[in-house]
Structure 1
Amino acid sequence: MKAFNKEVKIALVAIVGVIILFFGMNFLKGLNIFSSTDDYYIQFHDISGLSASSPIYADGYKVGTVKSVIYDYSGKEDPRVVVGIDRDMRIPIGSTAVIESDMMGNVKVNLLLANNPRERVMPGETILGDVDAGALGKAAQMLPAIENMLPKLDSILSSLNTLLADPALAQSLHNVQTVTENLTVSSAQLNTLMKTLNKGVPTMMAKADGVLDNTNRLTSNLADLDLATTKQQVDQTIANVKLLTDRLNSNEGTLGKLMNDPTMYNNMNSTMRSADSLLIDLRQHPKRYVHFSVFGKKDK
């Protein structure tokens, strides 16, 4: 009886050890035996190192793990992956799966959920998958372009070395230094000039204030003028000039008759000619008009 009890205990310990080993291995693989999951299939052209226990994410949250990989050795069908996804996870029809790998070589599956709230992928159905090469894949795609650029870079470096070895470059740098020194001297002179101008600014401002005062005084004087009276006087003067002009144009008055009546002009012209003839005759025969005689004798 004691031997039987000992054998039973050894068997129980072995069974418990196997159970613990089973659950431990599944735990290390990322599989949870007690979780309620549904199995789906994902079909890839290339699984890119995907293996059992690889995690499956949706919107950055882990929703399941890879259970196994089914590979067709005949090559007639693409590899398929059996995945266990949480039973509460609803996968819309049109969703796809992408294999992604990071810089450390860790591989995972990312579900790209479609926007289809009415129809869903049922457990046991197949989801189409693809491979996202990630940063390493993008770098690999850039390698041909980089290889094409290497000869150009070599040519550029050679040209740069030739340019650096040219003595003209050193002379140009020396000229640049000279120009910089001249600019420094010019800046110092400009500063001196600005200081001089700053000293003269108060005097200029005082003169400007005087000009403004004179302007204000002139403005005040203009404001004090009686513009209405001045305008009235100007209007009166213009009226008088107009009255004078009307009289000159009419036959009234001496000036009007002189300007408009030709008879008066002719009479005056005749009188002037008679006066001129009289003056000429008086100059030539003064004795006819003035008599001087000591003895009282007349000159005939």
Structure 2
Amino acid sequence: MKLSREVKTAILVISGILFLIVGINYLKGINIFEPKNEFYTEFDYNALTPSSPVTIKGNIVGKINSIKYDFETGKTRVAFSIDKGLKFSKDSKMRLYELGLMGGNGMAIIPVEGGTPAKNGDFLASEVEEGLVKSLTSNFSGLSSGLDDTLESADSLLVNLNKLIEDDSDKGLKSAIAELNSTIKSFKSLSYSFNSLISKNDDNLTAVISNFNKVSADLATLSADLKDVEISKTVKNLDQTLLSVNELLAGLDNGDGTLGKLLNDDELYNNLEVASQQLQELLQDFKLNPSRYIKVSVFGKKDKSGYVKPEDERQ
């Protein structure tokens, strides 16, 4: 049998509604598929809703089914269902209590030990717990006096704030706002000038950034090259070279070798000084009497003059 589109839509909508009802009750901790017993109680006034929970020791075990006003007794009759697995005495009481400041009200089972077990359809006694709202109502006089002081302080604060706003002196709020406005305008003008400077020097800034990027790339290349250099080996070779130089200088200082003896032998220095003096005298004599060393005679006459030391040795 082929179902029409309308029937399929209706089935889908009904399934969605049922799923929504089951999901909402599941989130509340209520399983609608579990067998339940229905009980009744009464209150002087109605402070419940059909969605209010029924709890025992803080655990949700049921829900309120219906709330009706009894015209004969003038009380509110409440019907609620409890899981069949819960066993409690018929003498237990149903307490009306607040779930929270904004959470509404609920009913709690106050179990009594012993007695006849409660059965489906039984009527249970009720009581009302003094909650937060009732406590606040009983202490409203104290709160009102404190509220008066608070309102008086708030009024003084508003008066002082109004004086501060209307003050036209340098210490007033108007002056401060005017100075703040002037500062904002100056900052805005500075921002425009800065933007104009950037736009005019855009090419130069681009060139500077390009040069900086190039320098950074060169430094990166140099860092890579330095990384490949065996600096420790170079330093070790330099240290060995300096050690050799130190040994050479120490040998010279101790008179080792030819150069060391030249630097440290005083007798050799004196001999060299005497030889230098004699060589100087020989050159002077050769300069003054070349005929003694070069024999050139046209007529065969010999020069019999002796060596005469000049008064000035530089001649």
TM-score w.r.t. length of structure 2 = 0.46
Q: Which protein is bigger by CA-based radius of gyration?
A: 1
| Bigger fraction of residues in helix | 1
Larger RCO: 1 or 2 (CA < 8 Å, sep 6+): 1
